[in-house]
Structure 1
Amino acid sequence: MRATTVRADGRRPQPAGEPARDSADRPAAVRSGPWLLRGHDGRLILYALAGRAVLRWTERRSGGPEWDGPDVLPAEDLSHLTVVQGRNRYAHLLGRRVRPAQDGSLTVDLMYAIQYQAGRPLSEWRSIGNPHAKRERTALMGAPAATVADDGTLYVFAPTAEGRISLRREDERGRWAPWRDLQVTAALDTPAAAATSTGHVELLAPARGGALTWFQPEPGKALERGPDLGVVPLPGSATAVETSGGRLTYYLTDVRGDMVAVRAGEWPVPLGAKPGDGRHAALTTTLDGYACTVLAHRGAEGRVMLGVCGAEDERSGVWWTDTGTDCLGDPVLALDGHGRVVVLAVAADGSLTLARQEEGPGLTLSAWSRI
């Protein structure tokens, strides 16, 4: 796909805090995202849906700090974007496309594109359909969730307003299987999907009476219903991260407004945070020689909150820090090419701003800087 790069060559970079500007000198608005991925060469790649395009920035070199972009990747009629990455570092982009029909109703389908390497073009968008065969029912489909299994298979989960979730898989050769109904009618909003290093895919969906789960008994096999977890998630808040070999921990906000960690077969653990209504970000890394989980979310006061705890040791406490940085939407986390933690958020003025782990004990962040 041909991309246009919006740049101001020769002009000084705008400092953090000044409004981001598009080609019409208006503040840019991120409608979906951002997503921060690490490419095959260690460079970070940033995606955001803004206006009628996907914007893409790429680190000039592994570890930064300079960035190229944004590249403007046309994406007509997308209401929502999801970006996921597999072990091979391919970036899979899934968009919910909404188009008006002649009778005034809406036609909704999922669009798909892939980027194989950092700095390379994005493939052409193509439709992968909708689990609803009748056009008048396609608008029932919500925003998709997705994950990539260890063997390169892409799993796409599409929720509907009826409380159902449908799955479609693309194998490593690009062949798409038909839609499959996961046989549930109680799911609320977009689920949280994740793949483990052992090759298994798992899914959590919020419901009125708890958290519904699915798992694979063996890698590549059909997903089966697992036990409901003992927590009622706030829809849209859950994220999953592998905290030990083959074992996922879900971080979410419960309906009382408290953040908790929950694993299969265990009671939820309160984490001592009062987040906003968005999704949590989580990753695992090594700090001071110990396996740790790093958490981030937009707090109730609208600022980026950062937490650190021992991996699967939330009961011993989470160390929370108010970064003092106001943000719009959900912050995201990634490890850069040097293994440093990077926190990225949409600042209150609409600009993209990040902080990077500095040398030293624990997790100390640099000053925030505008991309």
Structure 2
Amino acid sequence: MTLGRDGRLTLYTRTDGGLLRWTQRGAGGDRWDGPEFIPVADLTDLAVVQGADSYVHFLGRRERHGSDGPRVDIVHAVQYQTGRPVTAWRSLGNFYRDRETGLRIGAPAGAVDAQGTVFVFVRNAGNGLQLRREGKGGKWEAWRDLEGAGLAAEVVASATSGGLVEVFAPSDRGVQQWRQERPDGPLRSLPPLQFHASAGSVTALETAPDRLTHYWVDANTAGVVAHRAGTWPVPVGGEPGDGAVVALRAPLDGYDCTVLAQRGAGGTLLIGVCGTEGEQQGVWWSDTAEQCVGDPALALDGHGRVVVAVCGRDGGVSVVRQEEGPGLTLPPHWNRL
């Protein structure tokens, strides 16, 4: 779920043969247009990344079948304005010439720095990390090997408000990280962190200028933890199921707060709230009782209110918006789109 320059939210989901898109009719409103079908064939994975310029970038792993067998490449498209058409999907290729080796690459992750440069990261067949980024004038640079080893299929890429790009990659050796020391500078690897995150559970949130907090499900304790560079992970509770811990900063009762959302072990959406960077003082969790599958989505609408979206077991999409009340008050009835 993304917020456009005009204050309208847009919601995207995967479907057979492409994407479905819903668009708010007005900023902060309850009415949505859609679903609109955006065709793109043969995607196995998709990442949606938004830059400070509000452009929405789509990065996909595509597997097409021909007479010589399947071939995999990475594809990219852009939505420049809310409700406007998506550009043609452009292939960014595969960093392997050998077709069979190329089948073993992972899903793309992306980040957009403060200058609007798009960074694409993909786990390679040797379980290291590859980077391709958009150069000056829109021309894409060649794929680069950032090395690494033992990476999981999914990596998490982020860009701070100051334009620093960072990659957080769970692996069989703990967590491996790459980080820029200055905007537009090289990505340098950092010593591995001896923590183990469950596959697909990691998310990143900028909680102070150029400082990220990562949240994940600890593979050993099965609980959610929070971590910032130079500190130990802080357990924050919850009863997580599978999928990502989604995070959002939001003003609640005049305080800077962090909202967490995840599909719980019972299959319903769990919401957690704490003061931003105040996880040690406690995270207050509640069960919405809303059944869901996959990862939820969180965003602030054009009026600064929290909006939550989930996909139901039947494939339908439902949203709910923060209402008047103390803290984060959500109404009991969800709006099915």
Shorter-normalised TM range: over 0.9
What whole-Å deviation, never above 9, does each CA across 1:189-218 have from its counterpart, x for those lacking one? 211111101110111000113111111011
1:170 aligns with 2:141: no
8 A Cα contact 2:149 2:171, kept in partner: no
**What letter corresponds to residue 64 of structure 2 in structure 1?**
R
Amino acid at match of 1:288: D
CA separation in 2, counterparts of 1:69 and 1:201? 34
1:368 is aligned to 334
Please give the TM-score of this superposition, normalised by the length of structure 1: 0.88
Runs of 4+ in 1 over 4 A off after TM superposition: none
Q: Deviations over 1:201-252 (max 9, x none)?
A: 1110001131111110111111001232342111211000000111000000
Partner of residue 29, structure 1: none
Q: In the TM superposition, what is the alpha-carbon distance from 1:360 to its structure 2 partner?
A: 2.5
1:51 corresponds in structure 2 to 16
Q: Which has the higher strand share?
A: 2
Larger mean CA deviation between 59-68 and 167-176 belongs to: 167-176
Residue aligning to 2:213: 249
Out of 168, 172, 180, which is 1:208 matched to?
A: 172
| Contact 1:233 1:253 survives alignment (8 Å) | yes
Between 1 and 2, higher relative CO (CA 8 Å, sep ≥ 6) is seen in: 1
What is the CA–CA distance in structure 2 between the aligned matches of 1:173 and 1:292, rounded to whole Å? 38
**Counterparts of 1:179-258 in structure 2 under 5 Å?**
179-256=143-220, 257-258=222-223
Mapped to 2, the partners of 1:289 and 1:280 lie a distance apart of 24
Q: Report if aligned partners of 1:152, 1:171 keep a CA contact under 8 Å in 2.
A: no
What is the aligned partner in structure 1 of residue 54 from structure 2?
Answer: 89
Q: Which moved more, 1:166-175 or 1:211-220?
A: 166-175
CA distance in 1, matches of 2:173, 2:104: 22
1:229/1:264 contact within 8 Å kept: no
2:85 pairs with 1:134: no
Give the equivalent residue in structure 2 for 1:30.
Answer: none
Q: Say whether the 8 Å CA contact 2:23–2:34 is kept in structure 1.
A: yes
In 1: Cα distance, 2:101 partner to 2:240 partner: 35
Partners in 1 of 2:10 and 2:192 — Cα distance? 36
- Tell me the secondary structure at the aligned position of residue 277 of structure 2: coil
Unaligned runs of 5+ in 1: 1-35
- Relative to structure 1, the CA distance from residue 85 to residue 288 in structure 2 (aligned partners, 3 Å threshold; closer, same or farther) is same
Cα distance in 1 for partners of 2:230, 2:274 equals 20
In the comparison of the two structures, how many residue pairs are matched? 335
Say if 1:131 and 1:179, in contact at 8 Å, map to a contact too: yes
Partner amino acid, structure 2, of 1:137: T
Written as runs of structure 1 = structure 2, the 5 A alignment for 1:71-150 is: 71-103=36-68, 105-150=69-114
1:302 aligns with 2:267: yes
* 2: CA distance, partners of 1:212 / 1:350: 35
SS state at 2:193 partner: coil
Give the 3-state SS of the residue equivalent to 1:255 in structure 2. coil
Task: Quote the residue 2:287 is aligned against.
Answer: 322
Q: Which runs of 5+ in 2 are unaligned?
A: none
Structure 1 residue 161 displacement after superposition: 4.0
Greater Cα offset, 225-234 or 173-182: 225-234
Change (3 A) 1:127 1:204: same
Q: 2:121 aligns to what?
A: 157
Contact 2:173 2:192 in 1 (8 A): no
> Once the two structures are aligned, what percentage of the paired residues are identical?
50
Q: Is the contact between residue 203 and residue 246 of structure 2 (CA under 8 Å) also seen in structure 1?
A: yes
Q: Is the 8 A contact 1:151 1:172 kept in 2?
A: no
Alpha-carbon spacing, 1:300–1:161, altered in 2? closer, same or farther (3 Å): farther
- The one-letter code sitting in structure 1 at the alignment partner of 2:134 is E
